[in-house]
Amino acid sequence: MTPRALVLGGLLLAVLLVVPLFADGYVLSVLTTVLWFAYVGQAWNVMMGFSGLLSLGHALYVGLGAYASAALFVHFGIGPLVGLFAGIALAVAAGAFIGFLGFRFGVRGVHFALLTIAFAEVARIGFDHIGWVGGSGGLFLPVGGSNPLNLRGSPTLFYYVILALVLLALVLAKRLLHSRLGYQWLAIREDAEAAEAVGIDLFRARIKAVVVSAALTALGGVFQAFYFNNLFPEQVFSMGRSIEIILPAIVGGVGTLFGPILGAFILTPLGEALTSAVGALGVDMPGMKQLFYGAALVLIIVFRPDGVWPWLARRLRLVRAPGEGGR
Amino acid sequence: MPLDFYLNIVASGLLTGLVYGLAALGLSVIFGVVRVVNFAHGEMMVAGMYGAVLLFGFLGLDPVLSAPLVAAVLFAFGWVLQRGLVNRFVERPEHMQFILLLGIATIVLNLLLMIFGPDSRGVQVDYVFDTMEIGPLLLDAVRVRAGVGAVAVAAALFAFFRFSRTGKAIRACADNPLGARVVGLNLDGLYAFTFGIGAAVVGIAGALMVLVVETRPQLAPEYTLLSFIIVIVGGLGSLPGALLGGVLIGVSEALAGFLLMPSLKALFSYLVLIVVLLLRPQGLLGRRS
């Protein structure tokens, strides 16, 4: 990082901190969505970017966090500050189980990705049939009242909460990356056999990556449940949601710290602009936004397979040497 | 007679399963040779389904007869896709190939959604209510046609790979790409041809599937996942395994849909997958790598 990067980063943070004073409700809601995707993108990046494990079922962890905290709140009046631990525990258990199945039996690469999809799909179909959490009819949180500790409050409250989560995830990811575990992950990502040869326990390191990623993602799920106040298995656990989660990191730069954040800031506003532009033309095109996301995936992977961030960081001279790519 | 009843359910699941197996065969062929996982497989299948629906709607063509036309179009699509995009990803890391095809799948799916809308469309062939009686079995004529068609195409595919010159060349590429290049085979051309074959096969599976189910864009991701499950259950790189896996999944779906709840039948396929990954990760007919 150069001093220039620190100044620019500080400026951006300052702007984000004062935005609610000026922005209207719509801008604030778009920014909240941007930050949510930046956050879960960062969480996904711990698995794919740091340790090379492709998960295409992260909607599972979002959904478990969301449903656990929401169900406790709806049925027992237990607030999200307690409920989040239940959500995280569930997601960690699910992640550890998937990791155990995958790594114990040598399910690699694409097949591991398929395993993650399979579990998300099992959850989607399963939750459709669990009456206690509303089944396919959906689970609705009681709205109204103002209690920040229970995440009941204005959009501004939610904005600051998700901003705090993004910063927390950023700091955590940076510290992890420069820890012993982080170096183990990078070694495994680059060459698993060599990593094993120098004595790294592949199984344990990989399980840890899944668990950390699942726990962080579940926290994003808790936020989502209390922000939107409704949960439907068809949306929460859908394959499409899992793809939306991986997009920011891929567009921004897999394995970089700022990639997921940059990717979310590029994709969400563009998607919103496209939706409102098409809406202004008076045509109803349900697949338009997803079509754009698909095209974005193809274009990025063909022309900037490392993502936008490493390129931008070099352009703006935010990193010292090429190859240091924003780490 | 409850036993007859179950036999009938199994038989109809088996016939549908043969079409699933044919779709998975296309995936297996592409993966076995090009070493790229076609994440847009279900999208291609649904495109084939819409092709058959359109040909029936405008020309009154029976899906069995429109299958070759659908196959030709999808062959061209697969060939161009491999030549234009996928080929430069053959040497790239696995996750990049995956993401490329995920993007293509998303594009195709949403194009279908924008063109045809979310509602179901089917074909009303004039033998839709006909049945065939074989011993204790009472089979739907549409299902029999679909199943027999799938077996015929699969047999043709096996024969192609075993006896034809091109088929042998493709198998050589699959076994040893470097060696194949050394003896003068045109790898890029054969890869494009193979991707075309895989797309054509899944297109035919789609055209046959129209006889049994109504089509809608949302089926695409389901069929992609189903094809994956079948290929893994049957064993990677094993063509007979894909057919066997398809039959297994078809029968288990039919039984689950009847014994439990129709909405739970997909859950059953995933559980079969998880059990197979646990007990026999190389698949039923696969070799250990």
Rounded to two decimals, what is the model's pTM? 0.88
Whole-angstrom distance, CA of residue A275 vs CA of residue A290: 10
Q: B115 CB near a chain A CB, below 8 Å? A: no
Neighbours of A262 (CB within 10 A): 23
Nearest by CB to A287, which of B114, B261, B271? B114
Is residue B101 within 8 A of residue B37, CB to CB? The reply is yes
> Which chain A residue's Cα is nearest to B220?
A239
According to DSSP, the residues that pair with A230 across neighbouring strands are A140
The pLDDT of residue A325 is 46
Q: Which fold, B2-279?
A: ABC transporter involved in vitamin B12 uptake, BtuC (1.10.3470)
**In degrees to the nearest 10, what's the CA dihedral of A82, A84, A85, A87?**
130
Cβ–Cβ below 8 Å for A291 and B110: yes
Q: B132 CB near a chain A CB, below 8 Å? A: no
List, for residues B179-217, the tens digit of each pLDDT value. 998 998 999 999 999 999 999 999 999 999 999 999 999
> The domain that contains A182 carries what CATH number?
1.10.3470
Q: B87 CB near a chain A CB, below 8 Å? A: no
CA distance A194 to chain B (A): 17
Is residue A231 within 8 A of residue A134, CB to CB? The reply is yes
Give Cα separations from B122 to A233, B17, B49 (angstroms): 28, 19, 9
Tokens of B27: 């995936």
Q: B102 CB near a chain A CB, below 8 Å? A: yes
Cβ–Cβ below 8 Å for B228 and A125: no
Is residue B24 within 8 A of residue B234, CB to CB? The reply is yes
Q: Is residue A120 part of a domain?
A: yes
Tokens of A122: 């099992």
State how many domains chain A has: 1
CA distance A25 to chain B (A): 30
Whole-angstrom distance, CA of residue B211 vs CA of residue B1: 28
**In degrees to the nearest 10, what's the CA dihedral of B63, B67, B70, B71?**
160
Kindly report the backbone phi and psi dihedral angles of residue B105, in degrees, each rounded to the nearest multiple of 5, phi listed first: -60, -45
Question: Domain residues of chain B, as ranges?
Answer: 2-279
Q: B110 CB near a chain A CB, below 8 Å? A: yes
Nearest by CB to B273, which of A118, A125, A301? A118
- Identity at A272, one-letter amino acid code: E
Closest CA relative to residue B208, chosen from B158, B149, B153, B141: B149
> Which chain B residue's Cα is nearest to A286?
B114
- Which residues in chain B are closer than 8 Å to A109, comparing Cβ atoms? 94-95
SS3 labels along chain B: CHHHHHHHHHHHHHHHHHHHHHHHHHHHHHHHHHCCCCCCHHHHHHHHHHHHHHHHHHHCCCHHHHHHHHHHHHHHHHHHHHHHCHHHHCCCCHHHHHHHHHHHHHHHHHHHHHHHCCCCECCCCCCCCCEEEECCEEEEHHHHHHHHHHHHHHHHHHHHHHHCHHHHHHHHHHHCHHHHHHCCCCHHHHHHHHHHHHHHHHHHHHHHHCCCCCECCCHHHHHHHHHHHHHHHHCCCCHHHHHHHHHHHHHHHHHHHHHCCHHHHHHHHHHHHHHHHHHCCCCCCCCCC
Nearest by CB to A301, which of B96, B221, B274? B96
Q: Is residue A99 part of a domain?
A: yes
Cβ–Cβ below 8 Å for B281 and A105: yes
> Which chain B residue's Cα is nearest to A126?
B267
Q: B289 CB near a chain A CB, below 8 Å? A: no
Kindly report the backbone phi and psi dihedral angles of residue B78, in degrees, each rounded to the nearest multiple of 5, phi listed first: -60, -40
Tokens of A72: 């406790």
According to DSSP, the residues that pair with A152 across neighbouring strands are A147
List, for residues B30-72, the tens digit of each pLDDT value. 988 998 889 999 999 999 999 999 999 999 899 999 999 999 9
Whole-angstrom distance, CA of residue A173 vs CA of residue A177: 6
Closest CA relative to residue A36, chosen from A226, A277, A290: A226
Cβ–Cβ below 8 Å for B264 and A111: no
**Residue A111 structural domain:** 3-315
Cβ–Cβ below 8 Å for B270 and A118: yes
Residues of chain B with pLDDT under 70: 1, 287-289
- Which residues in chain A are closer than 8 Å to B118, comparing Cβ atoms? 286
Is residue A325 within 8 A of residue A306, CB to CB? The reply is yes
Cβ–Cβ below 8 Å for B95 and A296: no
Cβ–Cβ below 8 Å for B102 and A302: no
Print pLDDT tens along chain A (327 aa).
Answer: 678 888 888 999 999 999 998 888 899 999 999 999 999 999 999 999 999 999 999 999 999 999 999 999 999 989 999 999 999 999 999 999 999 988 887 777 777 888 898 899 999 999 998 889 988 889 999 887 778 888 888 899 999 999 999 999 999 999 999 999 999 999 999 998 899 999 999 999 999 999 999 999 999 999 999 999 999 999 999 888 998 899 899 999 999 999 999 999 998 888 888 888 887 877 767 778 888 889 988 998 999 988 999 998 888 888 765 554 444
Is residue B118 within 8 A of residue B133, CB to CB? The reply is no
Neighbours of A198 (CB within 10 A): 8
Task: Tell whether the torsion through CA atoms of B218, B221, B224 and B228 is positive or negative.
Answer: negative
CA distance B186 to chain A (A): 24
> Which chain A residue's Cα is nearest to B271?
A122
Cβ–Cβ below 8 Å for A305 and B278: no
Q: Which of B:211-250 have CB within 8 Å of A?
A: 217, 221, 225, 228-229, 232
> Which chain B residue's Cα is nearest to A238?
B221
- Which residues in chain A are closer than 8 Å to B98, comparing Cβ atoms? 54, 110, 113
Q: Which residues contact A327 (CB under 8 A, 6 or more apart)?
A: A177, A256, A257
Whole-angstrom distance, CA of residue A20 vs CA of residue A17: 7
Size of interface A-B (CB pairs under 8 A): 114
Q: Which residues contact B95 (CB under 8 A, 6 or more apart)?
A: A48, A52, A54, A109, A113, A254
The pLDDT of residue A326 is 45
CA distance A314 to chain B (A): 23
Q: B106 CB near a chain A CB, below 8 Å? A: yes
Closest CA relative to residue B223, chosen from B58, B112, B79, B67: B112
Cβ–Cβ below 8 Å for A113 and B118: no
Q: Is residue A321 part of a domain?
A: no
ipTM: 0.84
CA distance A169 to chain B (A): 24
CA distance B229 to chain A (A): 8
> Which chain A residue's Cα is nearest to B265?
A125
Task: Indicate which of A291, A299, A300, A304 best probes the interface with B, i.e. most B CBs within 10 Å of its own CB.
Answer: A291
Is residue A249 within 8 A of residue A48, CB to CB? The reply is yes
Residue B31 CA, distance from chain mean position:
13
CA distance B173 to chain A (A): 21
Whole-angstrom distance, CA of residue B8 vs CA of residue B27: 29
The pLDDT of residue B236 is 75
| The Cα angle at residue B152 between residues B148 and B154, in degrees rounded to 5 | 115
| Inter-axis angle of helices B239-259 and B265-279, nearest 10 | 130
Residue A129 CA, distance from chain mean position:
26
Cβ–Cβ below 8 Å for B277 and A115: yes
The pLDDT of residue A321 is 57
Cβ–Cβ below 8 Å for B232 and A126: no
Neighbours of B249 (CB within 10 A): 27
Q: Is residue A293 part of a domain?
A: yes
- Identity at B46, one-letter amino acid code: V
